[in-house]
Amino acid sequence: MAQEAPRLSQSLVNPANLLTDLEEFVEDHRPHGPLVADATEPAWNGYLLTVTCGCGVTFERWVTPLDPELDLLRAAVLN
């Protein structure tokens, strides 16, 4: 039976806040035109997610491997 990794890291970050921030950005800027999401090459400690709006505002957030939900949201923005 496989052992699940301990989830102590959950206490170090708050993915809910990251998601809320990005969702707010998307909601605020989606009316301005297409949002362009991009991400740097994943490194051991994560990657930089950027979402650029047609109005010139860019949302930037460092995404750690502890934030798997953001991968899903990024995929949603890219679609």
Measured from the CB atom, is 6 or 56 closer to Zn ion?
Answer: 56
Q: What is the DSSP letter of 43?
A: B
Q: How far is the CB of 64 from Zn ion (least distance, A)?
A: 26
DSSP states of 30-42: GGGS--EEEEPPP
Measured from the CB atom, is 33 or 68 closer to Zn ion?
Answer: 33
Positive or negative, the Cα torsion across 58, 27, 70, 21?
positive
What residues line the site for Zn ion (CB under 5 A)?
Answer: 29, 32, 53, 55, 57
Q: How far is the CB of 14 from Zn ion (least distance, A)?
A: 25
